[in-house]
Amino acid sequence: MDKMKELIKQNGSYLGGGILKVDSFINHQVDPFFMRDCGEEFARLFNHVKPTRILTAETSGVAPALMTGLALDIPVVYARKSKPVTMPDQVYLTIAPSHTKGVSVELIVSPEYLQNGERVLIIDDFLASGATIKGLVRLIQAAGATLVGIGALIEKDFEGGRELLEPLGVPIESLACITKLDENGIILKDA
Amino acid sequence: MDKMKELIKQNGSYLGGGILKVDSFINHQVDPFFMRDCGEEFARLFNHVKPTRILTAETSGVAPALMTGLALDIPVVYARKSKPVTMPDQVYLTIAPSHTKGVSVELIVSPEYLQNGERVLIIDDFLASGATIKGLVRLIQAAGATLVGIGALIEKDFEGGRELLEPLGVPIESLACITKLDENGIILKDA
């Protein structure tokens, strides 16, 4: 997706430690029209796997997941990282390491909204090590639902996430793929 | 907004302690089409105050804020509750008590995305005690920006938030207003 690549080149910045800052258009400030375009692109990429539900993780996954849900006309569920009092006592919970936060986080979904028989598309902001997405996959498996695809706004292909997730046998798509990220700059695939 | 009132009556449930559970359509699972309708309603209600930016708090504010930003064609900024490594060291930070979490939370915005001269519309999921929204107002004031309006999907008018915020002198709008919430049921204004 050309616009994503342009935004990364113009506004992304490398902070060291493998961290790409995209706060100006994904993680803190969001351009709703651009995010709608991303959702429509994911819908185009995943329509053929017939998802019935989107699963993401709070917080930065919510915007792309919501816009993908809008384009596909299916509900969106976001895994919580701490259990609100409104959740039932019995939940699906898994632990995933968070790269940008430097700690492990819980990912929690209520069995009310992730059920046996659903065809679930995972949408998230980043595909890096794949740890968060793998956590979401475990929640889907625990619920007896079927994973049908994985989409990320930005992939860092040198962190091994795709290799971790490929054995799941579902399509994995990213809107921009970074092949190299260091003090010399950001190198994008096919850009 | 009739659809919001219907959803609250059909799917909202009272959990005790003043807590309304709306996880099936706002706080955990989201219907993107309904949320887009909410955003369009907020755009209609606030277009006249000419906002240039929307501010919300993660996580449940993101969906309504994003859809309002889409309808008004302005960027959305979501205050973070913990500082990611991608944020600069110098930030706007305030503390607000969280009703549903039972603790105080930090609300953090980078000065990069909230600046002097902006006309800021606050959009959040709930207007209850007003504590979170008052925290967002403090961030706007710290940035030297101008608050132009406050919108919430659901207002609990018995918790005093509107009284707390009215002295700010900006329009305050909610899409459904709960006047009474107890084991006997949920009473909505004008429903």
pLDDT tens, position by position, A81-134: 998 889 999 999 999 987 666 789 999 999 999 999 999 999 999 999 999 999
ipTM: 0.95
Residue A159 in contact with residue A93, Cβ under 8 Å?
no
Q: CB distance B19–A78 less than 8 Å?
A: no
Reply yes or no on whether the pLDDT at B99 is more than 90.
no
Q: What is the mean pLDDT of residues A140-145?
A: 98
Nearest CA in chain A to B114: A29
Interface test with chain A among B22, B25, B66, by most A beta carbons within 10 Å: B66
Distance of CA B80 to the CA centre of its chain: 14
Q: What is the mean pLDDT of residues B48-70?
A: 97
Rounded Cα gap, residues A156 and A176, in angstroms: 9
Closest in A62, A75, A77 to B59, CB measured:
A62
Higher pLDDT, B16 or A171: A171
What is the residue type of A25?
F
| A42–chain B Cβ distance below 8 A for any pair | no
Rounded Cα gap, residues B92 and B115, in angstroms: 11
Nearest CA in chain B to A112: B24
pLDDT at site A88 = 92
Rounded Cα gap, residues B148 and B49, in angstroms: 6
Q: CB distance B15–A86 less than 8 Å?
A: yes
Closest in B17, B30, B75 to A29, CB measured:
B75
pLDDT digits (tens, 9 = 90+) for A164-178: 999 999 999 999 999
Rounded Cα gap, residues B31 and A121, in angstroms: 15
Q: Assign A18 a pLDDT band (cuts: 50, 70, 90).
A: confident
| B83–chain A Cβ distance below 8 A for any pair | no
Report chain A residues whose CB lies below 8 A from the CB of B128.
none
Q: Assign B100 a pLDDT band (cuts: 50, 70, 90).
A: low
Residue A83 in contact with residue A108, Cβ under 8 Å?
yes
Rounded Cα gap, residues A63 and A47, in angstroms: 19
Reply yes or no on whether the pLDDT at B191 is more than 80.
no
Rounded Cα gap, residues B71 and A36, in angstroms: 11
Closest in A29, A70, A77 to B113, CB measured:
A29
DSSP string, B61-87: THHHHHHHHHHHT--EEEEBSS--TTS
pLDDT at site B103 = 84
| A16–chain B Cβ distance below 8 A for any pair | no
Instruction: Report CA Rg, chain A.
Output: 16
pLDDT digits (tens, 9 = 90+) for B112-122: 999 999 999 99
CA distances to A35, B16, B101, B149, B161 from A41, rounded to whole Å, are: 10, 43, 36, 33, 40
pLDDT at site A101 = 65
